[in-house]
Amino acid sequence: MRKAVIKRDTLETRISLELDLDQGARENRIETGFGFADHMLTLLSHWADIHLKLECQGDIQVDAHHSLEDVGICLGQALLQALGDRRGINRIGLARVPMDEAMAEAVVDISGRPYLVYQGDHLLSGIIAGQEKDLWREFFKSLAFNARLNLHINFLYGSNSHHLLESAFKATGLGLRQAVFQGRAEILSTKGSLD
């Protein structure tokens, strides 16, 4: 039963999240108060084929930074909890996804050693859907560090920021789908354990 329920309540955000790695993405419901983020998270969960129910009430009147950072924290915590000891997972996944003129790639290692490499974001516009582009790096950083992922995202080329981000979210979803798949009996590590 690879499931998790996460609640987060701060002065900036109130988040409720349910995750199921094995149910599939058929009945996902994502409401962050920021429509573009809902779109990106829907893509991530769909391409990862994970069930995700997420509601975030945040201080959107300020901007979407706190909401997206905290959603990344909660999604990362849920992945970590749902994966348990990570026995049997493929651990590593990678994908390169085109979206019209844009191409991005993502590589995921569920190693227990959190790290984010985020390259090529100079291709993104400074403002995307009314928000600073940096909030997407902060989202992926929060996700990686709270799920204890080694996550590499590379924006390879493209001229449309929506397409570039969509490509990155789809690629991350596909990478996660491969990495969380249980295709073996043991922990995939020559040292016999994951950090």
Higher pLDDT, 114 or 25: 114
Predicted confidence (pLDDT) at residue 150 exceeds the cutoff of 80: yes
Dig out the tokens for 133 from the structure. Answer: 């582009």
Q: Is residue 135 part of a domain?
A: yes
User: Per residue in 56-100, pLDDT tens?
Assistant: 999 999 999 999 999 999 999 999 999 998 999 999 999 999 999
Q: Is residue 192 part of a domain?
A: no
Query: Which domain does 141 fall in, by range?
Result: 3-180
Q: Is residue 91 part of a domain?
A: yes
Dig out the tokens for 15 from the structure. Answer: 């988040």
Q: Is residue 25 part of a domain?
A: yes
User: E strands within the chain?
Assistant: 3-9, 13-20, 29-31, 51-58, 92-99, 102-109, 115-119, 127-128, 131-132, 150-157
Q: Is residue 44 part of a domain?
A: yes
Q: Is residue 36 part of a domain?
A: yes
Q: Is residue 56 part of a domain?
A: yes
Q: For residue 191, what is the DSSP state? A: T
Q: Is residue 93 part of a domain?
A: yes
Residue 161 maps to which CATH number?
3.30.230.40
User: Per residue in 122-133, pLDDT tens?
Assistant: 999 999 999 999
Domain count within the chain: 1
The answer to pTM > 0.85 is yes
Alpha carbon distance 108, 150 (integer Å): 6
User: Which of 8, 168, 13 has the alpha carbon at shortest distance from 74?
Assistant: 8
In this predicted structure, what is the pLDDT of residue 187?
A: 77
